[in-house]
Structure 1
Amino acid sequence: MKQFPSLALTAASILLSSHTFAQQQLNKTAFMKAPESVAVYNNYYYIADIGEGGDPTKKDGNGIIFRMDKKGGSTIFAQGLDAPKGAFVLHHTLFVADVDKVKGYDLDNGKELYNIDLAPASIFLNDITALNDSTLAVSATDVNKIFLVHLGKNPRTEELVYTNPINGANGIVYDAKSKRLYVCGFGNDNKPDGQLGYIDMGAAEKTFTTLTGRLGYYDGLALTANRKTLIFSDWIAFEKKGVILELDLASGKITTLNKEGIAGPADFTLDAGDIITPEMMAGNVLKYSLKK
């Protein structure tokens, strides 16, 4: 059992939500073991499930990607993976981070199109986002790094060099207009000392700049369509205490959105204003409809 983290607070206040957050469990049956990430495409949710045991670095071949409709019915989209995480769709391809590889699957038929090996640089590749039509950014939680994956006929990888550490680099999302690569960290050595910040990808010397002094076990990260707000998740503890938070980029104000704790709010997605998040420790996928 982990203890609650000590939170370092800046002038940006932590407020209770003024919204009503309706929660719904989407899966009708207990078909998942340890869902870590969700991506949405053509009215389906693609769920990267680490598999029995929930070990994010173990090469055991029991990882599965499920395809679930919005009524909770599911089929197996791809199987035989090890510990898939970081589901992301680009060019009709579903990319996942699978231990030390980035894999890509054709969304029509589940055929594997990419299997890009980053070993031995990392054994805990985590989240994925796209910088452009041919470049992915992938977080590596175990080594506090971010790698760039250049797609094409002969894919190549490189480390993104930046100053200031990102403790347990995890959630990652890119804003092409501001050229900000937003990143949050899960922390190091089982400590909730992960930070939330960004890297200016347009700068000659790249630095990780924090946006708040609040620390946590940060996991999922998304930018809202209006580019004014970041949504991110904090496990708080390794039990049913997780929260989903909203950061106003202009004011720095942080709002807690959910009332009931979540058992492992991992890598969520936004779907037409709804937040679709795995509840990793309970084997569920939850939907939160934000109504003002």
Structure 2
Amino acid sequence: MKRISVMAFILMACQTFAQQKLNNSAFMHAPESVATDNNNYYIADIGEGGNPTKKDGNGSIFRMDKKGNGSILAKGLDAPKGAFILHHMLFVADIDKVKGYDIATGAQLYNIDFAPATAFLNDIAAINDTTLVVSATDVNKLFLVHLSKHPRVKELVYTNPIKGTNGVVYDAHTKKLYVCGFGGDNKPDGQIGYIDMAATEKVFKPLTSRPGYYDGIALTAHNTQLIISDWVAFEKKGILLKLDLASGKVTTLNEEPVAGPADFTLDAAGAAIVPAMLEGNILRYNISK
């Protein structure tokens, strides 16, 4: 019985942190973000060369089915990032524009211009059914987008700005907007924290003193933990972190490093679907216990 119990523990541990490649061919160049409707994966690919700020028209949005087969949903973008689904519409951040596509047809329904305020829009989350929050990495800012026939863009003013503002996720129950940063001046000095959106004066409050090249951020199903991706370096050294919101404890989840863990999502089973941007793959990590 003791031998069986030990073996069962080992198998469970392997399953918990197992890495699985989801795409069955190399159809992507530099996948930066992924979203899912639990039927398909929608991948924002910066394109050949992987330049996140170059207006070269070689960016694409792929639809990938559960068998790992990819097809084009939209093409001719520049450097799409920050894929987010709201009301059967896929929003992406494309340098200085937020674009919205019908996920069924690929028809473009939104093209919201932020220029000249920023040239590096990055991640997107929803505050409510008609309001998006978008990060701007180059200017360390956040913007609110009020969706309508004529969308309005407004800067979210807050104190204690975060360097390289990147990943965003919103908890509607606590009214907290969680944000992480990639750092500044090519230094891994990004932070993880939150802004109380119900407060009159908005302040970014760090949750940990641990710095990093932080990119993606997500809340677990019960909103008690954050999952964050940290590139660590510009090579295959990336990790996924779990931050417990009650204790502030930070732990590393994956054993095998990731080559550029960009803006990921959590699927219905709680697994992390992570773009390995530097190698052009989509990876699945079963991080649930």
Scaled to the shorter chain, the TM-score interval is: over 0.9
TM-score by length of 2: 0.94
Q: How does 1:198-213 map to 2 (within 5 A)?
A: 198-213=194-209
- 1:78: which partner in 2? 74
Paired with 2:248 and 2:96, the residues of 1 have a C-alpha distance of 35
Letter in 2 for 1:78: A
Paired residues, what number?
Answer: 276
Q: Confirm whether residue 196 of structure 1 aligns to residue 221 of structure 2.
A: no
Give 1:92 deviation, angstroms. 1.1
Matched, 1:101 2:75: no
For residues 77-118 of structure 1, what are the alpha-carbon distances to aligned partners after superposition, in whole Å with 9 as ceiling and x for unaligned? 100000000000011110000000000001110000000000
Counterpart residue number, 1:112? 108
Quick one: which amino acid aligns to residue 63 of structure 1? G
> Per-residue displacement from partner, 1:107-147 (whole Å, max 9, x unpaired)?
11000000000000000000000001110000000000000
- Structure 1 residue ranges (4+ consecutive) displaced by more than 3 angstroms after TM superposition: 17-20
Comparing both chains, which one has the higher relative contact order based on Cα–Cα distances under 8 Å and sequence gaps of 6 or more? Answer: 1
CA contact (8 A) 1:19 1:291 kept: no
**Alignment pair present for 1:131 and 2:127:** yes
- Aligned pairs (5 A) from 1:247-262: 247-262=243-258
Q: How does 1:162-241 map to 2 (within 5 A)?
A: 162-241=158-237
Structure 1: which 5+ runs fail to align?
1-16
CA distance in 2 between counterparts of 1:19 and 1:125 reads 36
Alignment deviations for residues 207-257 of structure 1 (CA, whole Å, 9 cap, x no partner): 000000000000000001101000000000000000000000001111100
The CA distance in 2 between the partners of 1:273 and 1:108, in whole Å, is 24
Give the secondary structure class of the aligned counterpart of 1:244. strand
Residue pairs, 1:130-169, within 5 angstroms: 130-169=126-165
Counterpart amino acid of residue 202 in structure 2: K
Q: Which residue is equivalent to 1:284?
A: 281
RMSD of the alignment, in Å?
A: 1.2
Match of 1:267 among 256, 259, 263: 263
Distance 1:182 1:20 in 2: 25
The aligned amino acid for 1:140 is A
Distance 1:244 1:129 in 2: 20
Q: Name the aligned partner's letter for residue 287 of structure 1.
A: R
Q: 2:113 & 2:270 partners in 1: Cα distance?
A: 35
Give the whole-Å Cα distance in 1 for the aligned partners of 2:35 and 2:103. Answer: 12
Counterpart position of 1:26 = 22
